[in-house]
Structure 1
Amino acid sequence: MKKIIIADDHTMFIKGMLLLLSDREQYEVIAVARNGQEVLDLLAGHTADILLLDVNMPVMNGYQATLKVRSLYPKVKIVVLSMLADESSIVKMLEAGADGYLVKNADEEELYEALATVLNNQVYIARAIRDKVSQAPVKSGSAAESVQLSSRELDISRLIIDGLTNSEIADRLYLSVRTVETHRKNILAKLNLKNTASLVKYLMDNKPFLDL
C-alpha cells in the first residue's frame, strides 16, 4: 500500500481527495498538511511514498516545499494539484523537482493515472495542459546543439514531451516497454541528466536544437 500526504489549505478540496482515495485500497492517506512547513514536519516523522500538494499555500508555498522535499527526501514522489495552468507555473514546478502536474479540475481516473505514472518513475503532465508545456519557450545558444541522439531516441523524446508513458510509447512505436525504458536511460545518459523530470524540462527548453 502506497502512503500519501496531502498538502492543501482548502478544507473542501482535502475532503474530496480523501473521499476519492478511500476508494482505492492500494493508497492510504496518512496525513494532511496545510502548508509546506507542515509537509516537512510530517515527513520528518512519517514515511510517505507520494506527496500531493498545491502551489499556493501559506507559510511555505508548494514551490519552496518541492525544493526542500526533493533535497531531503528524494524518494518521495511529488504530484502538484493546482488551479494554476499557465506555462511558467508548470515548468517552474517541474524544474523544482515535481514528478507530476495536475490541474484541480482533473477527473478521478486521471488522478489515478498520474499516481501510477509517477510511481513507475515517469513524469505525468495533465492532459489539459500538455500543449502548453510542449510549446514552452526555449533557450538560445544551448549546449544541446552538440548532443547527438539517434532517430529512435528523437522519436521517443517527442512522445515524452507529449506526456506519454513508457507503455504508451511502446504501443505507438511498436516496441517493447523494456526497449523504451532502455532508450530513455540512454537519453538521460547522453544528456547527463538524473531523472525524467529534468529530462522533460531539458527537452522542452531545447526543442529546436534537438530537432523535436
Structure 2
Amino acid sequence: MDDHVGGMRTDPGDGRTRGEFEPIATLLVDMQPIVRAGLRFVLEQPGTCLIVGEAGDGHEALRIAREEKPEIVVLDAGLTRLDAYETTARLRMLNPAPRVIICYVQEDAFEVQQLVQAGATGFIAKDANPGEFANAVRAVSGGGTYFPNALASALFSLQGKALGGCNVYGLSQRETEILRFLADGYSNKEVARRLGLSVRTVETHRLNIRKKTKAGTLSDLIRIAKAMRLTAAAVGDTPSRTGSRPVGQAASRVLSENAEIV
C-alpha cells in the first residue's frame, strides 16, 4: 500500500521521496536487447517509468545502479554471468537500495523463494499483459509486493510441505547448496567441481556456513542439514542443485505484508 504524505510518495524501504506523478526511475536488466527494448516501450508509454539504464548482465547492472541510483530494477531471472540471486542480493546492499522485480519464463516456487530471501519483492511472467508490468512497478515502488496468483499459491503450498525445514540461519542459496553436498559426504573438491567453483571459494563458503550455524564439526553440519531437510536421507532423493531447498520465513513475510496478488 502506498504511503502519501503531503502530495509526496514515500518509499518505506529507503526513505526516498518523489512527486506523486513523477516517473519511477527504473533500471532494466536482461541478457537479450530485444527484451529490454520491449520492457522500455511497455513501461515508458504510460509514463510510469523513467528508464535510467539498461544492462545485459549482473555486473553491469550493479555498476549502473551505483551510478544512477534507480528506485526499481526489473531483473531477468535467467541471468548467467552473475545469477539473479547474487545480483539481487548485491543490489539490495546498495545505499539507497533499489527494489527488485523479477521477470521469469517458468514458475519455480523453489527459485522464487530463494529470490525473495535475496530481497526481491515483485515477480511477473515475461508473457504477462503489458499493463501488468506497470502495475507491478507501481506496487513495488510504493513499498508493497507483487505476485501472480498462481505463483503465490505455489509458494504457500511449498511452505506447507516444508515440515520444519526453514532456513533459520540466513544461509544464502549458494551456502545452502554447498551445505547439502557436504552433508551428503562430498569433499570440497567434489563440491567445487559439481558447482563450477574453485576449491578456495567452496572453503570460504564452508567457513561462512559454520559461522552462521555455529557448527563446530562436520557432524554438527550434518545434523543441521538434516533439520533443514537438505540431505538425501531427509528428502528421499539424491543430491542435485535444484532437488530440495529450504523454504525460509522470508517468503511468508513478503506474501503476507502489503501483498498485491494478481
TM class, shorter-length? 0.5 to 0.7
Match of 2:60 among 38, 60, 71: 38
Counterpart in the other structure of 1:140? 164
Counterpart in the other structure of 1:117? 139
Return the alpha-carbon distance in structure 1 between the equivalents of residues 254 and 124 of structure 2. 18
Asked if the contact 1:8–1:34 (Cα under 8 Å) also holds between the matched residues in 2, the reply is yes
Counterpart in the other structure of 1:201? 251
Q: Percent identity?
A: 19
- Max Rg structure: 2
Give aligned pairs, total.
151
Counterpart in the other structure of 2:39? 17
Structure 2: which 5+ residue stretches go unaligned? 1-22, 169-247, 256-262
Higher helix share: 1
The letter of the residue matching 1:71 is M
Asked if the contact 1:136–1:204 (Cα under 8 Å) also holds between the matched residues in 2, the reply is no
Provide the secondary structure at the position in 2 that maps to 1:66. Answer: helix
Provide the secondary structure at the position in 2 that maps to 1:63. Answer: helix
Shift of 1:71: 1.3
Deviations 1:83-126 (A, max 9, x none): 13111111111111001111111112221221111112112112
Deviations 1:180-201 (A, max 9, x none): xxxxxxxxxxxxxxxxxx8752
The letter of the residue matching 2:114 is K
Asked if the contact 2:29–2:54 (Cα under 8 Å) also holds between the matched residues in 1, the reply is yes
Counterpart in the other structure of 2:30? 8
Shift of 1:74: 5.1
Counterpart in the other structure of 2:204? none
Deviations 1:143-186 (A, max 9, x none): x9xxxxxxxxxxxxxxxxxxxxxxxxxxxxxxxxxxxxxxxxxx
Counterpart in the other structure of 1:80? 102
Shift of 1:39: 0.7
The letter of the residue matching 1:64 is E
The letter of the residue matching 2:65 is L
Return the alpha-carbon distance in structure 1 between the equivalents of residues 37 and 118 of structure 2. 27
Which segments of structure 1 move beyond 6 Å, counting only runs of 4 or more?
A: none
Match of 1:108 among 130, 133, 156: 130
In structure 2, the CA distance between the partners of 1:32 and 1:117, relative to structure 1 (3 Å rule), is same
Match of 1:62 among 61, 72, 84: 84
Structure 1: which 5+ residue stretches go unaligned? 145-197, 206-212
Q: TM-score, normalised by structure 2?
A: 0.53
Q: TM-score, normalised by structure 1?
A: 0.64
